[in-house]
Amino acid sequence: MTKSKGRTGAHARANIQPPPTAAELDAAKREVAQIEGRLVGLAAGHPSVKTWKARLRTAQAVIARAPRDA
């Protein structure tokens, strides 16, 4: 039997996106702060918590794409 070479091709590579612009980064930071404030006010079992956490993850993903300043 031959050894598996793992994933090859396009599906093996990460979906690399360009870094966000300053405006996108600023908007994402504002949205994260706003959503975190809203989540504090909601009870843990509230139906909209799942929706807000999903929006929080997308905003945090934009911030994570930003280059780190040394």
pLDDT at 42: 83
Q: In the chain, what are the domain boundaries?
A: 18-65
Does the structure show a pLDDT above 70 at 2?
no
Q: Which of 1, 69, 37 is nearest to 29 (CA)?
A: 37
To 5 degrees, how large is the angle CA 28–CA 60–CA 7?
A: 130
More confident: 46 or 63: 63
Residue 10 has what pLDDT? 59
